[in-house]
């Protein structure tokens, strides 16, 4: 009897968990194992059998691939600036929209709207603005800022990509921070006011430390999203001008699907995976520790 | 007191102006979708001479909008149903069972959250071909099960802990066990998490680009809205009036849904983000 019960429990456990395991295996684990295998080969996708080359691909990635190193540099710059700017702006917005203004509901919705749009389409809309809209705006206002070549010059194209990504997603981070601010107890702030703390003092000594969990989450999300930046570049600059705005994700996409370097592309993909893993663990480690102190 | 009030009013006005500036790119896109080619070229910021729907009629027919809309709906629905069904039962069982196995399986379920899609995109594509899932809306929907499951399992798992075990026990005594217990007793209690997961996953699947590009780009009959807008703009890069119309038509469903369900969407995103 007891034995029978145990087996039926086990059977039930299997029936409940197996479907999801199969789905995840199909979506992640099997492809991942295949990726590891392909990364050790040279293959154009047409030849019947991939040719085993050992670690040659990795050797080439780190020693003789100018595309990869410039894409990596682009991604790092983008990642750092994106994380800092989007979080600072989101905190500022959240602080203002946490005050009880009459138009708060409208304002929160307005800043959130771009986040519900697909990044590819956001990229195209902005391409239109940069290429056509800025011309009209420049003619009307006479401001030189609209006459600049925002997609045609490497430095400016970088800023455009960064700006458009921030525009699209700042509302999402703002919402997380508003939720965090609402968890900050009112009486703490009031007590500080009674003690004579000014607005800045209150912000840095009370609000910011108590926002630490929200900051950990937001930075984590900004990190994982920015390290994979792809869609917005594809539609906004297509990697140009002169290949200066390729990100690592885009570089992998290009090698794999446009240059048909299946083996080499997957090796790069594996390098990206390890980078994501290491950076995520470091970030979570640092921020979690700070949270405990706060 | 009055100076604080005026300060607040000024801040309010500044914020409203800022928010309108913030939305201005979208407003410009909508304005230009009503213009003719020569109007777009002569002045982007001017209002159209008349609001006619010629561009919309053209794009609607050219990209076969109803077909795309149905495709998006099929993919999103299939994806959602599978993610919710499989993830909720698994997360429930894993959360209720205390053993080495259940801990290990739980970890296996959530680790993929760290794997960037670009790291596996080529091999996913090949595997999908072998499983006859590529070039079909159904197949794409099914693939989303695995991609959506890790986050869903994670969120459900955390939530089930808050449901007292006594509920399971009393239901078992009343004669319900297994699937009956889960679907009649537990699943209704998970409603708020389920809403959160629906919101996060609908926004993601509906707008996703790279996976559809790799999976269903082969034929016009299987394309998604974003994909069609992308290829359409590729062909019409100089005809901005059509391009903008296609963009507006692609984003309209999201905007309408957002306006209608704003409160739930924001709440759902917060819940998901904070758990995640």
Length of chain A: 294
**Tokens in use for A21?**
């395991």
- Tell me, yes or no, if B90 comes closer than 8 A to chain A by beta carbon: yes
Which residues in A lie closer than 8 A to residue B146 (C-beta atoms)? 23-28
Residue A3: pLDDT above 60?
Answer: no
pTM of this structure: 0.92
Helix (H) or strand (E) holding A42: strand A41-42
- Pick B45's closest partner by Cβ from A13, A136, A256: A136
| Band (B1; pLDDT cuts 50, 70, 90) | low
- In a mutagenesis test of the B interface, which of A25, A57, A124, A212 is the best target, namely the one with the most B β-carbons within 10 Å? A124
Scanning the structure block, which residue is given the tokens 């595309």?
A: A67
Write out the H or E segment, with its range, that includes residue A41. strand A41-42
CB contact under 8 A, A118 and B226: yes
B:139-168 residues touching chain A, CB 8 A cutoff: 143, 145-147, 149-150, 153
- Compute the average pLDDT of residues A284-288: 83
Q: What is the pLDDT of residues B189-207, one digit of tens each?
A: 999 999 999 999 999 999 9
Q: Kindly state whether A24 is in contact with chain B, defined as any CB-CB distance less than 8 angstroms.
A: yes
The whole-angstrom separation of Cα B276 and Cα B274 is: 5
Residue-level pLDDT at A24: 97
**Mean pLDDT on B218-244:** 87
Distance between CA atoms of residues A208 and A210, nearest Å: 5
Q: Structure tokens of A37?
A: 């295998």
Cβ separation B247–A124 shorter than 8 A: yes
Does A146 reach chain B within 8 Å, measured CB to CB? no
pLDDT tens-digit map of A5-47:
688 888 999 999 999 999 999 999 999 999 999 999 998 877 7
Contact check, Cβ <8 Å, B44/A135: yes
What DSSP assignment string belongs to chain B?
Answer: -HHHHHHHHHHHHHHHHHHHHHHHHHHHHHHHTTS-HHHHHH-SSSPPSS---HHHHHHHHHTTHHHHHHHHHHHHHHHHHHHHHHHHHHHHHHHH--SHHHHHHHHHHHGGGGS-GGGTHHHHHHHHHHTT-TTSHHHHHHHHHHHHHHHHHHHHHHHHTTS-HHHHHHHHHTT--THHIIIIIIHHHTHHHHHHHHHHHHHHHHH--HHHHHHS-S-TTT--HHHHHHHHHHH-TT-HHHHHHHHHHHHHHHHHHHHHHHHHHHHHHHHHHHH-
> Which residue of chain A is at minimal alpha-carbon distance from B10?
A101
Say yes or no for a CB contact (<8 Å) between A176 and B251: no
CB contact under 8 A, B131 and A26: yes
Of A196 and A129, the structure prediction assigns the larger pLDDT to A129
Model pLDDT, residue A223: 92
Q: According to DSSP H, which parts of chain A are helical? A: 2-24, 30-38, 56-63, 66-98, 104-112, 119-128, 134-141, 154-182, 186-194, 199-202, 208-210, 212-226, 231-236, 248-253, 262-293
Mean pLDDT value of segment A178-190 = 85
- What is d(CA A70, CA A242) in angstroms, rounded to the nearest whole number? 12
pLDDT > 70: percent of chain A: 97
Omega into A241 within 30° of 0, i.e. cis?
yes
Q: Is residue B113 pLDDT above 70, yes or no?
A: yes
Alpha carbon distances (Å) from A85 to A88, A247, B269, B276: 5, 19, 21, 22
A189 touches chain B (CB under 8 A): no
Put simply, whether B31 touches A (Cβ < 8 Å) is no
- Choice among A43-47, A69-73, A75-79, A178-182 with the minimum mean pLDDT: A43-47
Q: Which of B114, B208, B226 is the closest to A276 by Cβ?
A: B114
Shortest CA gap A213–chain B (Å): 9
Q: Cα separation of B71 and B141, whole Å?
A: 10
Interface list for A 45-84 with B (CB within 8 A): none
Asked whether A215 and A284 are in contact (CB, 8 A), the reply is no
What's the pLDDT score for residue A191? 84
Tell me the three-class secondary structure of A107-169, residue by residue: HHHHHHHHHHCCHHHHHHHHHHHHHHHHHHHHHHHCCHHHHCCCCCCHHHHHHHHHHHHHHHH
Of residues A75 and B264, more confidence is placed in A75
Judged by CB atoms closer than 8 Å, whether chains meet at A125 and B25 is answered as yes
Reported as a pLDDT band with limits 50, 70 and 90, residue A94 is very high
Mean pLDDT across A67-77: 95
What pLDDT is attached to residue A1? 42
The complex's ipTM works out to 0.91
User: In which band, very low, low, confident or very high, does the pLDDT at B275 lie, cut at 50, 70 and 90?
Assistant: low
């Amino acid at each position: 009897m007891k034995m029978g019960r145990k087996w039926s429990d086990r059977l039930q456990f299997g029936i409940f968990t197996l479907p999801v395991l199969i789905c995840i295996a199909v979506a992640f684990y099997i492809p991942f194992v295949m990726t590891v295998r392909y990364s050790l080969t040279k293959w154009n996708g047409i030849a019947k059998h991939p040719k085993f080359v050992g670690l040659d691909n990795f050797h080439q990635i780190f020693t003789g691939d100018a595309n990869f190193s410039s894409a990596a540099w682009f991604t790092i710059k983008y990642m750092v600036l994106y994380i800092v700017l989007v979080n600072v702006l989101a905190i500022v917005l959240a602080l203002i929209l946490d005050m009880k203004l009459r138009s708060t509901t409208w304002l929160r919705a307005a800043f959130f709207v771009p986040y519900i749009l697909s990044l590819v389409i956001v990229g195209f809309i902005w391409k239109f603005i940069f290429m056509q809209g800025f011309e009209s705006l420049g003619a009307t206002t006479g401001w030189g800022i609209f006459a600049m070549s925002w997609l045609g010059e490497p430095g400016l194209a970088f800023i455009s990509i960064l700006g458009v990504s921030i525009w699209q997603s700042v509302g999402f981070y703002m919402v997380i921070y508003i939720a965090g601010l609402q968890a900050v107890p009112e009486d703490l702030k009031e007590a500080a006011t009674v003690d004579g703390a000014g607005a800045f003092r209150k912000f840095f000594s009370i609000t910011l430390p108590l926002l630490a969990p929200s900051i950990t989450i937001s930075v984590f999300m900004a990190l994982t999203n920015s390290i994979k930046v792809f869609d917005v570049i594809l539609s906004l600059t297509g990697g140009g001008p002169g290949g200066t705005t390729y990100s690592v994700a885009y570089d992998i996409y290009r090698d794999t699907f446009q240059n048909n370097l299946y083996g080499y592309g997957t090796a790069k993909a594996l390098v990206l995976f390890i980078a994501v893993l290491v950076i995520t663990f470091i970030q979570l480690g640092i921020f979690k520790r700070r949270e405990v102190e706060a | 007191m009055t100076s604080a009030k005026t300060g607040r009013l000024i801040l309010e006005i500044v914020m409203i102006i800022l928010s309108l500036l913030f939305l201005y790119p979208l407003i410009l896109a909508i304005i230009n979708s009503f213009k003719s080619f020569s109007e777009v070229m002569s002045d982007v910021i001017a209002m159209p001479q008349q609001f006619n729907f010629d561009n919309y009629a053209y794009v609607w027919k050219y990209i076969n909008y109803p077909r795309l809309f149905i495709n998006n709906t099929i993919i999103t629905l299939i994806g959602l149903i599978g993610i919710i069904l499989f993830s909720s039962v698994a997360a429930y069982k894993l959360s209720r069972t205390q053993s080495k196995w259940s801990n290990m399986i739980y970890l296996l379920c959530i680790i993929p959250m760290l794997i960037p899609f670009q790291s596996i995109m080529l091999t996913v594509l090949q595997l999908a071909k072998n499983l006859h899932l590529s070039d079909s809306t159904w197949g794409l929907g099914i693939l989303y099960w695995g991609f959506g499951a890790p986050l869903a399992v994670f969120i459900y798992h955390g939530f089930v802990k808050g449901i007292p075990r006594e509920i399971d026990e009393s239901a078992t005594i009343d004669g319900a066990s297994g699937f009956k217990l889960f679907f009649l007793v537990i699943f209704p209690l998970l409603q708020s998490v389920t809403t959160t997961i629906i919101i996060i996953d609908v926004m993601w699947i509906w707008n996703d680009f790279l996976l559809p590009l790799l999976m269903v780009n082969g034929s016009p009959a299987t394309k998604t809205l974003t994909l069609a807008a992308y290829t359409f703009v590729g062909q019409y890069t100089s005809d901005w009036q059509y391009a903008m119309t296609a963009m507006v038509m692609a984003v309209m469903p999201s905007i309408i849904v957002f306006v209608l369900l704003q409160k739930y969407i924001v709440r759902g995103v917060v819940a998901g983000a904070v758990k995640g």
